[in-house]
Structure formats: structure tokens, C-alpha cells
Amino acid sequence: MLEDGHSFEGELIGCEGETAGEVCFNTGITGYQEILTDPSYCQQIVTMAAPHIGNYGINYEDVESDKIQVSGFIIKDETLYPSNWRSQSSIGDYLVENNITGIKNVDTRAIVSRIRDKGAMNGVISSFDYNKASLIKKIQNLPSMLGLDLAKKVTCSKKYLYSTNKTKKYNVAVIDFGIKRNILRLLSDLDCRLFVFPADVTKEEIISEKPDGIFLSNGPGDPAAVNYAISTVKSLLGYAPMFGICLGHQILALALGASTFKLKFGHRGINHPVKNIGNGKIEITSQNHGFAVDMHSLPNNINPTHMNLNDNTLAGFECTNYGVFSVQYHPESSPGPHDSRYLFDQFIQLMKNAKKN
């Protein structure tokens, strides 16, 4: 049942039960496992636009966090018998294992079209309550994503060291707003020793590790509501090179004096075209966000570096005054293309230059 009164009947996939959240859609043909475990989907019901889900099964090596993060899952066809040498479970069994309620055999095209035209809205999936008035009442009691701080729900509980290898060249302080594991893997592979901090970390705690760089991770919810992180990031400007992704990008922009807004239905998929303004090249990117930075609110010392070609929203910026930059999409590309992996090298180069100086 959607907030606007439209309902869709299907069959249960996953656990018997009832779940609610903001209903959104992802256009990726593959990558359902990474999508399910991405903390940026906290309190969201994800509709997969591709019709066949579960073809290659589930493995426990490619997950992006330690559990399924979505509130619910909506698909057209479930693959009951996946075919892949790495598969360890079917999609249905995986949802049951994680106590997730989903729905299948519904017209996902109609749901995607509805959200595209009307905008993202709250909804509920129920395997026992079929009373539409009752479901609508439950939806009306749900909070709006606007003004919701969800970073505190998905962040780590305390500081931890990602790799114990002390020979790595760069010390990086990572602020975890809901980080995906592949980001940590890539930074570690680039000779970074990662100190991962909770979202409410203080400036003093970060400085105590003497980082060569600071990384601001992806995460869920409204960036403007994460005021404690905005204050901390603002206080750290100029201390060390800084790189932000998605929610981290938005928080960095807010710390620099820009503003953010909620998109009509967000950008979620693995084939979004982004233009690199500096060299004119088009990158195919992986994206997952419901908010964006208002390009017209950028202070004069911020230079736009990337633009989303689907709707001309800001997709990246840099501020050379402080040696910081960020992008609205996922260069770690899990799932997705590898066109933007160079951004991690750019972060390494910034730290290298800062060390020289």
C-alpha cells in the first residue's frame, strides 16, 4: 500500500510480517545483494525495476554490511533456483534469514511509474493486514524522510581500526555515516590505515590519531538533520585533505555553507551518466541518494566538478582553499561500473601533496 492510496497485491517473499518505510526504486539489473546490504537504504522499501531478481543467488563475501539494511523488498519474479558457482543461498532464503518481509509477483513497472510521477512516498508491506483503511492509517503515522537523521542508526558503535597493518603509508580518519565495505577495501588497498569513527565523533578524537586525510562516508536520511556531523566537519576544514561520498558529500557542502534539498524520487541505479566538467568526459556511475546539494547555493570558493546529466543536478565539487572534494555518487561501484575509481587516487594524491608541504 502506498501513501497515495494505491495498493498492489502479490505474494510473500521473505518472512511473514509487516514492514514500512519510504518506497523507492532502483534501476540496476544486477547488484541486488549489495543493494539489500547498503546502509544508505535504512528505513526504505526498495522496488527493483529489473524483472528477474535472484538469478545468481547470494554469497556472503560481497555484502556491503553485516546485515540486510532495507526495510522491505519489492520484486516481480523471484529466482527459486539460482545458478552461479559462488552462490550460497537463494534470495528468498536470504530474506527469511534476515527477517525481512517482501512482496513478489506485483507489477513493479506500475510502482516505479507511480513513484517517478508522484515522487517518493511512504508505504507498507503486510502479509496479514488486508484492510486498506488500516494500512493507510499506519502509513500516516510514519515520519517523513525530510528532517530524519538516520546516520546515528547505522553508524558503528565505537571507533575501530579496519586494518592492523602498521606499515601502510597514509593514516585516514573515516567518519562512518553508514559506510559500504567496498569503500574500506579500496582505501586499504591504496595503502591507507583506516581509523573508522562513529558519526558523532568530535574534532579532538579525530585529531588524536593525526590523520593524513579525512574520509566522509555515504549514509541514509536527510543530511541537514545531521547537525553534529556538520559542525565537526566544519571545525576540521583545513586540517587535512577531505573526500566525501553521497551523504558525506552533502554534509561537506553544508559545512562549507551550501544547502541541500530532497529530490522528487532520488537517483538509484548503476547506469547514471555524470559529466566531468574539467575534462568533458562522461562517466557511467552507481548512485543511491534521495537528497542533493543545491548548485545555486554554492559559495564562491566552491567549484562544481561533476554534473548529473539526467537532471543537471550537482554531482561533485571541490574547494581548493581547504583541499577538499566530494561526489554525489558511488565511485567504489559496488555494484556498478568502475569509471570513477580514479577519485580514490585523487584523494591519495592530495594526502601525498599535503605530506610534502
Q: What is the pLDDT along the chain (357 residues), one digit of tens a residue?
A: 999 999 999 999 999 999 999 999 999 999 999 999 999 999 999 999 999 999 999 999 999 999 999 999 999 999 999 999 999 999 999 999 999 999 999 999 999 999 999 999 999 999 999 999 999 999 999 999 999 999 999 999 999 999 777 789 999 999 999 999 999 999 999 999 999 999 999 999 999 999 999 999 999 999 999 999 999 999 999 999 999 999 999 999 999 999 999 999 999 999 999 999 999 999 999 999 999 999 999 999 999 999 999 999 999 999 999 999 999 999 999 989 999 999 999 999 999 999 888
Q: Are 177 and 199 in contact (CB under 8 A)?
A: yes
State the DSSP string of 245-308. ETHHHHHHHHHTT--EEEEEEEEEEEEEEEEETTT--EEEEEEEEEEEE-GGG--TT-EEEEEE
Report the pLDDT value the prediction gives residue 167, as an integer from 0 to 100: 84
| DSSP 8-state code for residue 144 | P
- Told to judge if 332 belongs to the known catalytic residues of this protein, a careful annotator would answer yes
Report the pLDDT value the prediction gives residue 1, as an integer from 0 to 100: 98
Catalytic residue among 22, 64, 318, 332: 332
Cell readout for 244 is 566525501
Catalytic residue among 249, 267, 289, 330: 330
> Which residue, 175, 317, 167, 164, is CA-closest to 233?
175
- Report the C-alpha gap between 37 and 78 in whole angstroms: 18
Fold designation for 151-356: Rossmann fold (3.40.50)
Q: Are 295 and 258 in contact (CB under 8 A)?
A: no
Amino acid in position 280: G
Count Cβ atoms within 10 A of the Cβ of residue 255 and give its class: 0-12 exposed, 13-18 middle, 19 or more buried. Answer: buried
Report the pLDDT value the prediction gives residue 166, as an integer from 0 to 100: 75
Q: Are 216 and 242 in contact (CB under 8 A)?
A: yes
What stretches of the chain adopt beta strand conformation (E)?
Answer: 11-14, 18-26, 44-48, 52-53, 72-74, 77-78, 101-104, 121-126, 160-161, 170-175, 192-197, 213-216, 242-245, 260-276, 282-293, 303-308, 314-319, 324-327
CA angle centred on 344, ends 287 and 209, rounded to 5°: 115
**pTM exceeding 0.85:** yes
Residue recorded with cell 558523532 = 200
CB count, 10 Å around CB of 193? 21
- Report the C-alpha gap between 264 and 266 in whole angstroms: 6
Give the residue extent of every domain in the chain. 11-140, 151-356
Report the pLDDT value the prediction gives residue 163, as an integer from 0 to 100: 79
3 state DSSP class of 81: coil
CB count, 10 Å around CB of 159? 17
The two domains 11-140 and 151-356 share their CATH topology (first three levels equal): no
- Told to judge if 246 belongs to the known catalytic residues of this protein, a careful annotator would answer yes
Catalytic residue among 24, 42, 192, 246: 246
3 state DSSP class of 324: strand
Report the pLDDT value the prediction gives residue 165, as an integer from 0 to 100: 74
Q: Does the domain at residues 11-140 carry the CATH identifier 3.50.30.20?
A: yes
